[in-house]
Amino acid sequence: MSLHCRLWISGRRREERRGTHKTPAGERSMSLRWRLFILSVVVVLVLVVVRGQVSAQEEPPVPDEQCLVCHSKPDLSMVLPSNEVLPLTVDANILAHSAHGLEAETPLHCVDCHNNMDGYPHGDFPAANYRSYQVQMSMVCGNCHEDQAVARQDSIHARLLAGGRIEAATCVDCHGAHEVVWADPEKHEVDRVAQVEACGQCHSTIAAEYEESVHGQHVAAGGQDAPTCSNCHPAHKIEDPRSAEFRLKSPEVCAQCHADEALMAKYEISTDVFDTYVADFHGTTVQIFESVEPGVYTNKAVCSDCHSAHHILPPTDENSSVMEANLLATCQRCHPDAGENFAASWMGHYRPSWERFPLVTAVDWFYKMLIPSVLGFFVVYIGLDMGRTWYDRSKQRRECRRARRKQGKAEKGSSEGGES
Ligand code: HEC
Ligand code: HEC
Ligand code: HEC
Ligand code: HEC
Ligand code: HEC
Ligand code: HEC
Ligand code: HEC
Ligand code: HEC
Ligand code: HEC
């Protein structure tokens, strides 16, 4: 208010200096009213901007200490309409050590998230039970993280939530509310095991399988190269893995890493797996399907049919679905009539070689020799034939010309002889 007055006074002084106040009484009061109006609009705008900057930089409208006077009390709690008891004690240390705390460029304050609160008393509790409260509160994250919130709209969890499956994951389920930690591996050191555990809260069976897998073991040992859940199911855009599109694209999910020469060399794993899969009957068909009919479900094998998706083990492990002794059973899931030699007759991820598949390699070589030699033979044959034809024709033409010349001479000779 005082700021408003000062501006108004200085405005009037300026008017007096310029002499604009010497206008007739009626007009003057009109223009004054207009100026006052414009001035107050400007002042309000300035105040809004100033206030906005202050709250974004340092002092929030309600300092955290004010909230913590009550919320740091050890056993503050409330009973919800659903009769659940909600503990209300907040550990300020947790917030301070979160990604929103002291390490952040601009630490967040209580009211940045609890933006409908400006002290006590609070309004009515906004939900019927704790889970609805949590889902509702999680909406606040999108105010500042628009990219993630927009990306998430199409994810399977968001669609399930919109359809009333209130137990599907929200931002808060995966990241926490006050205890948010760094998550972006490109910018920070992140705890990959904790990211898996976040999914495991709700997908415990799959998480347990994953933890036994070659990938899970690698991550548990602190490795950065094997996938966590979100490398295969990008966290904010998780699709339905049972859809035809996901199935057709799934070999490319594995290929991100298994076709990467430098990465696989570190673990002495062959990068032929992707190319040989594509060259194989199953893979060729899956690739054709993907480009022609991406919405149609394929029954041909993809990587995870043979290797599983979450319990992938090295082929040497006795529990691996692709270990020699278990392989036939894996094929029989789709080839129920497959006999003992079925799997052995398949080349798998190998290119033909003399050591492994002498017969196939022999046939391969046979064709490699046969085709060029047959083609070569025909090229030579056709070449010779064409040469001969050309030679014969030109010879014929030459003889014709010679004969014509001879005939011409003879005719000339006889006509000369006739004249004399
Ligand atoms: C005078 C003590 C006091 C102060 C100050 C206070 N609270 Fe509360 N708060 C309570 C009590 C008591 C409850 C239980 C519900 C009720 O009484 O409304 C509560 C409930 C809550 C809840 C959960 C239920 C709801 O209504 O959403 C949140 C969140 C909350 N407070 C946040 C805050 C924030 C943020 C501040 C600071 C701006 C704050 N409180 C300041 C005492 C206080
Ligand atoms: C008032 C704005 C605001 C709100 C609301 C907010 N955040 Fe943030 N959040 C930030 C800012 C700013 C940073 C980045 C801190 C930095 O990089 O210095 C951040 C960082 C993060 C990070 C770490 C990002 C990284 O680079 O690893 C995660 C994860 C995150 N927030 C999740 C959430 C969740 C979940 C919620 C809701 C419970 C939420 N945020 C609410 C502003 C906000
Ligand atoms: C990054 C956003 C964010 C900040 C900052 C934040 N809160 Fe919360 N708070 C939430 C969310 C989201 C929930 C509800 C979700 C849940 O309980 O898991 C919540 C819940 C609460 C509750 C209800 C009890 C509970 O744990 O569910 C209280 C009380 C509360 N906050 C107080 C505070 C106080 C006090 C501060 C400041 C010291 C603060 N909050 C800072 C996001 C935040
Ligand atoms: C199903 C679990 C899950 C949900 C739901 C989720 N996140 Fe994430 N979020 C992750 C994981 C895991 C990462 C780590 C990066 C990655 O692997 O994609 C991440 C990364 C982030 C980051 C770091 C920058 C980035 O994009 O990598 C921010 C910020 C973030 N999430 C905010 C949010 C917000 C806001 C919401 C709600 C709109 C949300 N997240 C919902 C799991 C989730
Ligand atoms: C708060 C619990 C919760 C968390 C945390 C969670 N999910 Fe989910 N998720 C669900 C629920 C509920 C469904 C629906 C399951 C159903 O329909 O049977 C679901 C569905 C899915 C689906 C679709 C397949 C299906 O069974 O419908 C995938 C994929 C998925 N989640 C992956 C993840 C990943 C990856 C993470 C971690 C980044 C994660 N989820 C974290 C609750 C959660
Ligand atoms: C190496 C890639 C990969 C990793 C890592 C991975 N998944 Fe999957 N996931 C897949 C594929 C491929 C499918 C579809 C095929 C299938 O279900 O066997 C799938 C299917 C799913 C499904 C739905 C089908 C079902 O079996 O219920 C859920 C839910 C799921 N994954 C969650 C997770 C969670 C949680 C994690 C981490 C613990 C995880 N995934 C790690 C590739 C992966
Ligand atoms: C983010 C990269 C990444 C993705 C995606 C990935 N893998 Fe892996 N995979 C690895 C790494 C790294 C190893 C080696 C781990 C080790 O030995 O510590 C590995 C190991 C394996 C092994 C064991 C090989 C051996 O001889 O020990 C198999 C089999 C395997 N992956 C199959 C798959 C399949 C199938 C998929 C897709 C469903 C997949 N992987 C997706 C990185 C990846
Ligand atoms: C029809 C079944 C089948 C399909 C489909 C399949 N694999 Fe395999 N895979 C196997 C068998 C069997 C082995 C073991 C080969 C051996 O060592 O004798 C294997 C071995 C591997 C290995 C270990 C190679 C090494 O050098 O240690 C990796 C990695 C692998 N597969 C990845 C993949 C990927 C990625 C895909 C999809 C692009 C895929 N597989 C598709 C059956 C399959
Ligand atoms: C997910 C199911 C699935 C799995 C697992 C699977 N296949 Fe197949 N495979 C198919 C389908 C479908 C066809 C096409 C059959 C047809 O059109 O007659 C096919 C075709 C083939 C063909 C081409 C010749 C033929 O019979 O038509 C060979 C060879 C083959 N599979 C070998 C294998 C071997 C070896 C394994 C085990 C290592 C295996 N498959 C595992 C689904 C699968």
pLDDT in tens, 136-178: 999 999 999 999 999 999 999 999 999 999 999 999 999 999 9
Whether 62 maps to a domain, the answer reads no
Does 288 fall in a domain? yes
Task: Give, using CA atoms, the residue closest to atom 17 of ligand 5.
Answer: 160
Residue 300 sits in the same domain as residue 359: no
Contact (Cβ atoms closer than 8 angstroms) between residue 181 and residue 191:
yes
Q: What is the pLDDT of residues 338-377, one digit of tens each?
A: 988 888 877 778 776 777 677 777 777 777 888 888 888 8
Whose tokens are 């056993």? That residue is 75
- Give the residue, by CA position, lying nearest to ligand 5 atom 5: 199
Least confident of 124-128, 275-279, 326-330, 366-370: 366-370
Q: What is the rounded average pLDDT for all residues in the chain?
A: 84
Q: What is d(CA 196, CA 231) in angstroms, rounded to the nearest whole number? A: 11
- The whole-number average pLDDT for the span 396-400 is 90
Radius of gyration of the chain, Cα coordinates, nearest whole angstrom: 41
The number of folded domains in the chain is 3
HEC string of 22-47 equals: HCCHHHHHHHHHHHHHHHHHHHHHHH
Is there a domain that residue 35 lies in?
yes
Burial category of 238 from C-beta neighbours within 10 Å (exposed 0-12, middle 13-18, buried 19 and up): buried
Pocket of ligand 3 (CB under 6 A): 64, 67-68, 71, 86, 88, 90, 92, 95, 100, 108, 110, 112-114, 134, 137-138, 172, 177-178
Residues 358 and 320 in one domain: no
Q: Are residues 333 and 363 in the same domain?
A: no
Residues 376, 319 share a domain: no
Note whether 275 and 373 are same-domain residues.
no
Give residue 254's domain range. Answer: 243-351
Which of 57, 85, 103 is at the close of a domain?
Answer: 57
- pLDDT higher than 70, residue 14: no
pTM for the model stands at 0.84
Residue 286 sits in the same domain as residue 334: yes
Q: Counting atoms of ligand 2 from 1, which one is nearest the CA of 183? A: 27
Asked if residue 263 is part of any domain, the answer here is: yes
Domain-embedded: residue 83: no
Does residue 345 sit in the same domain as residue 252? yes
Q: Which ligand sits nearest to residue 348's alpha carbon?
A: 8
- Same domain? For 317 and 347 the reply is yes
Q: How far is CA 273 from CA 80, 254, 278, 314, 420, in A?
A: 56, 10, 9, 13, 97
89 vs 60, more confident: 89
Q: Specify the pLDDT at position 419.
A: 46
On whether residue 231 sits in a domain, the answer given is no
86 DSSP β-pair partners: 78
What are the tens digits of pLDDT across the range 41-59?
443 444 344 444 444 455 7
> Considering only CA atoms, which residue is closest to atom 10 of ligand 6?
309
Asked whether residue 341 falls in the same domain as residue 253, the answer is yes
Centroid of ligand 5 to alpha carbon of 167 (angstroms): 9
Same-domain pairing of 324 and 365: no
With a 6 Å cutoff on the Cβ, whether 100 touches ligand 2 is yes
Supply angle C-alpha 144, 149, 152, rounded to 5: 165
Burial of 105 (0-12, 13-18, 19+ CB in 10 A): exposed
- In this structure, are 343 and 361 located in the same domain? no
pLDDT single digits (tens) 231-262: 999 999 999 999 999 999 999 999 999 999 99
Other C-beta atoms within 10 Å of 141: how many? 19
pLDDT of residue 51: 44
Residue 312 lies inside a defined structural domain of this protein: yes
Asked if the structure places residue 233 within a domain, the reply is no
C-beta 92 within 6 A of ligand 7: no
